[in-house]
Structure formats: C-alpha cells, structure tokens
C-alpha cells in the first residue's frame, strides 16, 4: 500500500510564532527548559522570539513535545487563559481598534495566520447564535484537544478584553470525549458543554456582534488594517521564509556543511520542493551556502587576522588551493587580497 502524500502547504513556514513563544514561557514555568521544545525542529527559541515564521508541522511537533515534557493534560486551557492582547500580534491590536465585535471577528478571521492561528476558523449563523467552527489543517489526535482548548479559551479572554468582562459564551461543542480535566472546562468557559459532538464549535449570542469595542479608534483601525493588508500582499513571504529557514539550519550545523538532502529532512520538505521554493525566492541552496561560507571566511581573514592557510583549515578545506578557488567564486577576489586590504586599512 502506498503512503499518503504529504501536503507541501503544511511544511511552508508562514505562521507567526506568537502562540509557541507563549507556550515556551509556560513550559518554563512548569520547570522544563524551553529550549528543549525546539531541539531538532530547524529553529531555536531565540529565533522564535525574533518572529521567525514556522510551518504547521513544526508547530505540531513542538506542541506534542510540550505536552510530553510538561506532563499536563490541561496545557492548552492554561495557555489560552493566560493570553494578553499582545499574544495576538498586530491582528489583535487591529481588532481592538475596530468599532464592533462583529467587525473585530471578521478582521481576525481574515488575518488568522498573522495572529499565529494553528487552526482554520469559519463563522456561520444559526438562528440567534453565531458559530465559530475550528478545523485542523493536519490530522493529529495527539494535539487536537490542546489546540481547541487554547483557541477557545484565548478567544474568550480576547473578547472579554474587547467588549468587557460581562461577555458570556452561549455554548461549546467538542468533537472529542471528555478529558481527565473536563471539570476545568466548566470553570473556564462557564457555559453549556457538549463532548463527542463530531465538530469543534464555539457559540456566541448574535446580539454580541453589535457590542461596541471598548478601545475603538477609527484612525488606528484604518492604519492597522493597511499594515495587515500590506503584509498579506508582500511577494512570496512563504518562500522567503524557506530561504531564511535554510540559512538557520546551516548556521546551527556549523562548522559542518549539511547536504541539501539533510537540510530538506530538517525542514520536512522533499529536496525537489526545497529547490523549487528557493528558486521562487530568487536563490539556491548553493548560493545560500556560498554566501555563508564567504561571510565566515572574511570574518576569519579580516577580523581574526588568520592566514589564508589557517582560514582554509578552520573552514574544513584540506587543500588551500581549493579554498582559494571557492573563495574567488564566492567573493569575486582571492582571499589574500581581502586579507591584505583589511590589514592595510588597520595600518592606515
């Protein structure tokens, strides 16, 4: 039997890491070194904190690891209940500047990935109720409850920040059976709950859509909408992120030089897909590697003052002549010329 083909969209790093940075902070509070969550996933905790976009697959693996290391089955509820407006990024601030809750929800749905969303959300109307239905992009029962718990509890926190603490949910339907910590669901959501429902939905009374946002600002709303739209229309953000991800994998492996096959495995992409996305980004695996090696070589020659032979050895070349040829290909000049220029600049 042939294996099902992986959807390449799930390996595209196009999700803001807002939720995962918060998850790392929570795991740290549980006594787990947050760096362990990122080990072997192609990025570091520091890179996440610098807003490195990640893929669905990377996020799923990090969450599974957090659940395992923390030993907490209610990790999603805990994380969602701790969220603040900044945890939703620019999308959250834009929602807080809109006029009504209905406008805020529509804006949030339009820019889900910029808010770090790991589930797809759709809105429908059912009589006097509005239903927000969440679906997984990847089928993974191991993280489903976490994702739903985090999403629904964080949405509750967010809406109460937008319209006031008096907001109440009309109900929640969940596709899975009651977990061991089901009692905490009742304390967090304070609304009717239905497990084994076959879908994951959060219900809001329709009249809440007309509720006024407490911090409404038409000027800020217009400006933030423009910023969000500009981000969405930036050419090739996903493929540019792939090039960044390749650079980060190579940096983490230094001084070793992983092959494109090894880097593709680290990013959970096929070699063919990786080559195509780098081409779309206007670069190639060789160009990225050459650029990094050129930068490292110039640092050794100019900043550390190593000889050409010493720099060659440090970079793993057994033959100085091969290093000279490679350096000229990278930089357009021989390494000796760069070293002499740097020395003359210091002397002058």
The 10s digit of each residue's pLDDT in 207-264 is 999 999 999 999 999 999 999 888 776 544 455 667 777 887 887 777 778 889 988 8
In this model, does residue 342 exceed pLDDT 70? no
Q: Where in the chain is the domain with CATH 1.10.10.60?
A: 237-347
In percent, the amount of the chain with pLDDT more than 70 equals 91
Q: How confident is the model at residue 328 (pLDDT cuts 50, 70, 90)?
A: confident
The half-sphere exposure of 121 on its side-chain side, counting CA atoms within 13 A, is 25
What does pTM read for this prediction?
A: 0.70
Range picked from 36-40, 136-140, 323-327 for highest mean pLDDT = 36-40
Other C-beta atoms closer than 10 Å to the C-beta of 330 total 19
Output the CA angle 23-49-234, nearest 5 degrees.
Answer: 110
> CA 324 to CA 25: how far, in whole Å?
46
To the nearest whole number, what is the mean pLDDT of the chain? 85
What is the enclosing helix (H) or strand (E) of 236? Answer: none
Beta bridge partners of 130: 125, 204
**CATH, range 237-347:** 1.10.10.60
In this model, does residue 175 exceed pLDDT 60? yes
What is the enclosing helix (H) or strand (E) of 245? Answer: helix 237-253
Q: Using DSSP, state whether 299 is helix, strand or coil.
A: helix
> CA 95 to CA 291: how far, in whole Å?
41
Q: Which of 78, 87, 70, 72 is nearest to 187 (CA)?
A: 78
In percent, the amount of the chain with pLDDT more than 90 equals 45
The half-sphere exposure of 60 on its side-chain side, counting CA atoms within 13 A, is 16
What is the structure's pLDDT at 333? 78
More confident residue, 213 or 140: 213
> DSSP state, 116?
T
Residue written as tokens 């009717």? Answer: 192
Residue written as tokens 């493929």? Answer: 239
């Amino acid at each position: 039997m042939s294996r099902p083909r992986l959807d390449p969209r799930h390996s595209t790093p196009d999700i803001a890491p807002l939720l995962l940075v918060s998850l790392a902070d929570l795991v740290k509070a549980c006594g787990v070194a947050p760096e362990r969550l990122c080990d072997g996933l192609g990025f570091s905790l520091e890179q996440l904190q610098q807003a490195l976009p990640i893929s669905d697959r990377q996020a799923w693996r990090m969450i599974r690891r957090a659940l395992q290391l923390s030993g907490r089955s209610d990790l999603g509820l805990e994380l969602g209940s701790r969220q603040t407006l900044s945890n939703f990024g620019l999308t959250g601030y834009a929602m807080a500047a809109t006029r009504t809750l209905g406008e805020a929800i529509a804006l949030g749905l339009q820019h889900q990935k910029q808010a770090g969303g790991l589930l797809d959300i759709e809105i429908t109307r059912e009589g006097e109720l509005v239903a927000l239905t969440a679906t997984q992009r990847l089928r993974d029962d191991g993280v489903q409850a976490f994702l739903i718990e985090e999403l629904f509890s964080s949405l509750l926190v967010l809406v109460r920040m937008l319209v006031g603490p008096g907001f109440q949910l009309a109900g929640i339907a969940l596709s899975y059976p009651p977990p061991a910590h089901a009692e905490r669901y009742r304390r967090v959501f304070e609304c009717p709950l239905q497990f084994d429902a076959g879908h994951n939905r959060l219900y809001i009374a329709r009249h809440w859509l007309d509720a006024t946002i407490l911090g409404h600002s038409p000027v800020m709303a217009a400006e933030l909408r423009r910023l969000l739209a500009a981000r969405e229309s930036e050419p090739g953000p996903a493929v540019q992120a792939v090039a960044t991800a390749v650079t980060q994998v190579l940096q983490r492996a230094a001084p070793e030089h992983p092959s494109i096959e090894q880097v593709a495995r680290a990013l959970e992409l096929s070699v063919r897909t990786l080559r195509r996305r780098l081409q779309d980004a206007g670069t190639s695996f060789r160009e990225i590697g050459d650029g990094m090696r050129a930068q490292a070589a110039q640092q050794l020659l100019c900043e550390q003052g190593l000889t050409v032979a010493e720099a060659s050895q440090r970079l793993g070349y057994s033959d100085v002549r091969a290093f000279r040829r490679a350096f000229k290909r990278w930089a357009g000049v021989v390494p000796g010329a760069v070293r002499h220029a740097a020395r003359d600049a210091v002397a002058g």
